[in-house]
Amino acid sequence: MTIDEDSVDSVETVSVSGATTRQSVRRPRGIVRLNDSQIPGWIDWTVSSNTFYEADTFRITFALSALPATNDLNWFSTQTELFVEILAGFPTDADNPDPSELTSLIYGRVDDVEPDMLEQVITLTGRDLTAAFIDSKITDQYVNQTSSQIVQTLVAKHAGLEAVVTPTKTKAGTYYQRDQVQLQAGRSEWDLMAYLARQEAYELYVSGKQVFFQPNSIDEADPYDIVWQPPNDVVGNPVANVIDLKFSRSLTVAKGITVTARSPNRKTGRPTVQSYPSNPKAIQAGKASPFGSVQTYYFNMAADHTPTEVESFAKAMYDAIVSHEMKMHARLPADSLSARRAVRVQGTGSRWDQTYFPRLITREMSLDFGYEMTIDAQNVSPDNSPES
């Protein structure tokens, strides 16, 4: 059995701890395009979107019997390059979905084509256009250009891609010299772009045919709400706008950490050392641990950094470590949530009620379960910051 634009109607259910609540009928629709042409016959698809300098990925399964004659098994066997676009959403007319009312979840290049002759299906897997940079090696370190100019130069090498860049001022050679970086010809263009993004405290990602290189744009002002209502005398089962909700907490980070960074000084012979936070919070009274109250992380930097630079580096490492303390995993009916929008959890009555930042959103559409998504997100505990 195949799935097409008219076959994913489902009654939305929210199931928590065995309790299932029937809600309104959702009529999601999905469209798959191959080389910019809409192709029927898909059974299911998955799109994974992340925020950590990595490629978004996709997986699509087609029924061989439902493919058009112009795109049959033999046609797939002759292709050397395929591009996929997956769109999904809730169009006004679900029986005749208008692609302009759907959200493009990914545009990318197919890496592998895998027919299964027994199951009579064919599966396509691939990455978004980040792959163009991952698969291309650098030929120059571009020391006399700024980071933003380098990104624009690299994007211009790939026909059809557009750079959306916020200008920067520092020449990249300054970073290479200061950090003693050697980006050899064997490294990818994406390695170089990701390195520059970290130096500038920028985010780097590809959306459709656009490459974004800009300051962090995570939307914290309008968070996506996940609301949990525990059982009570009126409501005998938990109620939530999710199907599944899980948390974890790193107790190594929870008891408090400090980061110490060290940069040798070739003129004075005395290293520049800075810690963040300078007065780390210790374990509360009565909570002493035989392993010590604060975990200290040490990092060595290249020579001749200023005290301000060393402190900024220590803070950046601190932020990166503590961001993994509190983690949240949720499964829920899918919608257009962006991986660059904060998620807020409410109602658990615990410290897990807080804001999280997505690191991975995976959407799936199939005949079996309709249209769902999972969110994996993380943040530091509100109790474990230097200001608390």
CATH of the domain at 87: 2.40.10
Q: Which amino acid is at 358?
A: P
* Any domain includes 371: yes
Tell me, yes or no, whether 181 and 258 share the same domain. Answer: no
Q: Does a structural domain hold residue 72?
A: yes
Indicate whether 2 belongs to any domain. Answer: no
- In one-letter notation, the amino acid at residue 355 is T
Calculate the CA dihedral of residues 312, 317, 320, 324 and round it to 10 degrees. Answer: -140
Do 348 and 236 lie in one domain? The reply is yes
Domain shared by 107 and 17, yes or no: yes
In a domain, 1, yes or no: no
- On whether both 230 and 274 belong to a single domain, the answer is no
User: Residues 267-300, buried b or exposed e (16+ Cβ, 10 A)?
Assistant: eeeeebebbbbeebbeeeeeeeeeeeeebeeeee
Looking at 302, 322, 342, the residue that finishes a domain is 322
- The reply to whether 336 falls in a domain is yes
Closest residue by Cα to residue 376 from 248, 265, 197: 248
296 lies in the same domain as 186: no
Residue 175 is predicted with a pLDDT of: 76
Does residue 163 sit within a domain?
A: yes
pLDDT for res 388:
46
Same domain assignment for residues 239 and 353: yes
- Return d(Cα 175, Cα 9) in angstroms, integer: 54
Q: CA-CA distances (angstroms) from residue 370 to 39, 119, 331, 337?
A: 19, 21, 13, 17
What is the Cα–Cα distance from 84 to 70, expressed in whole angstroms?
17
What phi and psi, each to the nearest 5 degrees, are found at residue 41? 95, 5
Position 244 scores a pLDDT of 94
**Do residues 130 and 206 make contact, with C-beta atoms less than 8 angstroms apart?**
yes
Nearest-angstrom CA–CA distance, 270 and 253:
31
What pLDDT shows up at residue 171?
87
Number of domains in the chain: 4
pLDDT given for residue 238 in this prediction: 80
Task: Specify whether 349 is located in the same domain as 297.
Answer: no
- What is residue 140's predicted lDDT score, i.e. its pLDDT? 82
Task: Kindly state whether residues 104 and 37 are assigned to the same domain.
Answer: yes
Please indicate, yes or no, whether residues 89 and 137 belong to a single structural domain of this protein. Answer: no
Asked if residue 284 is part of any domain, the answer here is yes
User: 240: domain CATH number?
Assistant: 2.40.30.150
Specify the amino acid at residue 146. Answer: T
Count the neighbouring beta carbons within 10 Å of the beta carbon of residue 349.
Answer: 9
Sequential pLDDT tens for the chain (388 residues): 334 444 556 544 454 544 444 455 788 999 999 999 999 999 999 999 988 788 999 999 999 999 999 999 999 999 999 999 999 999 999 999 999 999 999 999 999 999 999 999 999 999 999 999 999 998 887 888 999 999 999 999 999 999 999 999 988 887 777 666 666 657 899 999 998 998 888 999 999 999 999 998 887 889 999 999 887 766 667 889 999 999 999 887 877 788 999 988 888 889 999 998 876 554 443 344 555 567 788 988 878 888 988 888 888 888 888 888 899 999 999 998 999 899 999 999 999 999 999 999 999 999 888 999 999 999 987 665 555 4
- The whole domain housing 161 covers 133-207
121 shares its domain with 169:
no
Supply the pLDDT for residue 252. 78
Indicate whether 386 belongs to any domain.
no
Same-domain check for residues 103 and 120: yes
Note the pLDDT of residue 287. Answer: 46
Please report the pLDDT score of residue 5 as a whole number: 43
At residue 168, φ and ψ (nearest 5 deg) are -120, 170
Tokens for 129, please give them: 């256009």
> Could you tell me which residues come within 8 angstroms of residue 149 by beta carbon, excluding any fewer than 6 positions away?
142
Pair (60, 170) in one structural domain: no
CA distance 279 to 182: 35
Q: Which of 207, 242, 268 is the last residue of a domain?
A: 207
Last residue of a domain, one of 281, 298, 322: 322
Calpha distance 352→160 (Å, rounded): 44
What's the rounded Cα separation, in Å, for the pair 216 and 121?
41
